[in-house]
Amino acid sequence: MVLVHGYGSNGDDLISLAAMIQPTLPTVAFVAPNAPSLLPHMADARQWWPIESFSATERATGAAAAAPGLDAFLTKELEDADLGADRLLLVGFSQGTMMALHVGLRRANTLAGIIGISGMLVAPDSLHAEIRSRPPVLLIHGTADDVVPFRSLDLATKALTAAQVPVETHVSKGVGHTVGQDGLAAAATFAARVLV
């Protein structure tokens, strides 16, 4: 399971989720890479791409620029573990969700699945032309998210469904821009199902 952190975080921070999920998945290995660049003037705060305007163009350009690095990391992890793509579950939070969906759906070999938490689908208009695989996807979002709008869940679901990607959703009522206990439980259940 590869955990992809959000803007201003790092792999060491997100790997803490592993301790919460591992009891459900005792045989699964967890890894959390760091995004390629540091935020200015902030220790250990990383970004997949700089966020200045949060515009659709900025998101599309940023995700496309960062994608080869994450894609290469996934390939190397699978090779090092001598596993096929169908044994890899990609889990993203916030900007990490944007990366997980962008990269995971464009890999030639289908992953076991993608879990996106408190994120959104970047460049939905280009998905139809660029999609190469259709792993099962679980999207989790809190209704009180004040960073990535809750409506992003519905927009992503519609775009993924139109692209014939099997997608499930979990709504965390009253939860902000974080991983709620109910969302964590939904993620663990989904993971246990797709990694059997």
In this predicted model, what pLDDT tens digit does every residue of 53-89 receive, in sequence order? 888 899 999 999 999 999 999 999 999 999 999 999 9
The predicted pLDDT at position 72 comes to 97
The predicted pLDDT at position 127 comes to 94
pLDDT surpasses 80 at 139: yes
Of residues 72 and 44, more confidently modeled: 72
Q: 128: number of CA atoms within 13 Å, CB side?
A: 6
Domains of the chain: 2-194 (3.40.50.1820)
pLDDT-derived band at 192, boundaries 50, 70, 90: very high
pLDDT-derived band at 52, boundaries 50, 70, 90: confident
